[in-house]
Amino acid sequence: MKSWKNALAVVLAVLPVTGIAADFPSKPVTLVVPYPPGGNVDTSARIIAPKMEAILGQPIVVENRAGAGGMIAAEYVKNSDADGYTLFMAANGPLLFAPMTMNRPDAYDWKTDFAPVGSVSITPMALTVRKDVGITDIDELLATAGEKNLLMASPGAGTTNHLAAEKLKADSGGDFRIVHYKGNAPAIASLIGGETAFSFDQMSVILPYIKDGAVVPLAVTSSERVPALPDVPTLKETGKFDFAAVTFTGLLAPAGTPQEAIDAISAALTETLNGDDVKKRFEDLGSLASPMTPAEFGAFLTEIDDTWRPIVAEVNANK
């Protein structure tokens, strides 16, 4: 009798967890974006949200929590309930590098405070200069930026844009100042409006301005030329720089989130990203839809972290 009761107790203890997993999601899921509306990360979130919503049968809410290089959003998700209903729509800077560049290395550690769900997109950047500046190649830009007091726009300290700018500055011996803004949208507004003269920007946000002729592309940061800009060389092709830099967007949950919830979201995300219409939307923006399993995304993050962390340390040392 006692063993029967013990077995029943175990079954009853498991039932609520199994029931919750089977019903997931039973309420809206929030994607927390670390930047204001209009940038690469925000745009990526708004592309996938409607499709995932249809698959999961619950609203997918995009919530912007900008500030502190993306750390406000990261810490908000880190401290949220680990139930799968609050997810971090992350990018390189906020997830991997902001704690170092913002002098808060203990704020969070992506390896222990978050659980990878899946990659969303991969996007190269373009180095562009405002057309009325009158510069048409990278050599001229780097040679005259200092004497002309040309400012470089950045969407925030610790972003891939910022780190690529610091790498460009260090490798070229360039003399220019980097001005940080709170996201892609205000950084580009400063570029177009004349406050700054040049910038590294994700293809997904700068391509319309290139097509309109407002800015001139000097180089792209991918290892190969970008189909949308076939005549624009890579940084490596200029013969002066030996690095490539792309930005990713992806979903992570708070550490401790049930695997069943992670798997459900991952499956919906993969189905969304494999859709031809979603692929085309990313391609039109100069990005690439990049579905990955949670394990694959975790390995990808480790590779990015290992590659860029020494550069972050070098940037911090030279402050």
Taking the C-alpha atoms of residue 290 and residue 273, their distance in angstroms, rounded to an integer, is 7
pLDDT of residue 174: 85
Say if 21 falls within a structural domain.
no
Q: What is the domain-level CATH number for residue 260?
A: 3.40.190.150
Stretch 140-163: mean pLDDT: 91
Q: How far apart are the first and last CA of the chain?
A: 71
List pLDDT tens digits, range 5-34. 343 344 344 444 434 456 899 999 999 999
Residues 183 and 286 in one domain: no
307 alpha carbon, distance to own chain's centre: 16
258 occurs within a structural domain: yes
Q: Indicate if 280 and 294 belong to the same structural domain.
A: yes
Contact 255, 77 (CB under 8 A): no
Average pLDDT, the chain: 90
Q: Percentage of the chain surpassing pLDDT 90?
A: 68
Q: How confident is the model at residue 318, as a pLDDT?
A: 65
User: What pLDDT score does 69 carry?
Assistant: 86
Please tell me the predicted confidence (pLDDT) of residue 138.
94
Query: Cα Rg for the chain, rounded, in angstroms?
Result: 21
Residue-range definition of the domain harbouring residue 259: 27-122+247-317
Domain boundary among 238, 271, 290: 238
What is the rounded distance in angstroms from the CA atom of residue 201 to the CA atom of residue 222?
12
Cα separation of 93 and 106, whole Å? 15
**Confidence at 207, pLDDT banded by 50, 70, 90:** very high
One domain, residues 85 and 180: no
Torsions phi, psi of 53, nearest 5? -60, -45
Considering the domain architecture, whether residues 98 and 202 belong to the same structural domain is answered as no
The verdict on 115 and 261 lying in the same domain is yes
Return the number of other C-beta atoms located less than 10 Å from residue 136's C-beta.
12
Clarify whether residues 202 and 61 are in a common domain: no
Residue 149 falls inside a structural domain: yes
Q: Are residues 172 and 105 in the same domain?
A: no
**Residue 294 near residue 262 (C-beta atoms within 8 A):** yes
Domain boundary among 186, 221, 238: 238
Same-domain pairing of 222 and 164 = yes
Model pLDDT for residues 101-128, shown as the tens digit of each residue: 888 889 999 999 999 999 999 999 999 9
Same domain, 130 and 226: yes
Q: Is position 10 within any domain?
A: no
Residue 138 shares a structural domain with residue 220: yes
Strand partners, 288: 122
Nearest to 43 by CA among 167, 224, 177, 207: 207
- Confirm whether 22 is domain-assigned: no
Cβ within 8 Å of residue 144, ≥6 positions away:
135, 150
CATH number of the domain that 199 lies in?
A: 3.40.190.10
User: Has residue 18 been placed in a domain?
Assistant: no
Number of domains present in the structure of the chain = 2
Give the rounded percent of residues in the chain with a pLDDT score beyond 70: 92
pLDDT at 280 over 50: yes
Residue type, 263: D
**pLDDT at residue 129 is higher than 70:** yes
For the segment 184-204, the average pLDDT, to the nearest whole number, is 95
Question: CA 57 to CA 79: how far, in whole Å?
Answer: 26
- Let me know whether 38 and 104 are in one domain: yes
- Residue 37 per-residue DSSP state: T
Q: Is residue 43 part of a domain?
A: yes
Question: What is the reported pLDDT for 312?
Answer: 83
> For residue 146, what are its two tokens?
């200092």
As a whole number of angstroms, the distance between CA 46 and CA 23 comes to: 25
Residue ending a domain, choose from 238, 257, 287:
238
Q: Please indicate whether residue 58 or residue 69 has the higher confidence score (pLDDT).
A: 58
CA-CA distances (angstroms) from residue 125 to 84, 196, 205, 217? 31, 17, 9, 10
Same domain, 223 and 137: yes
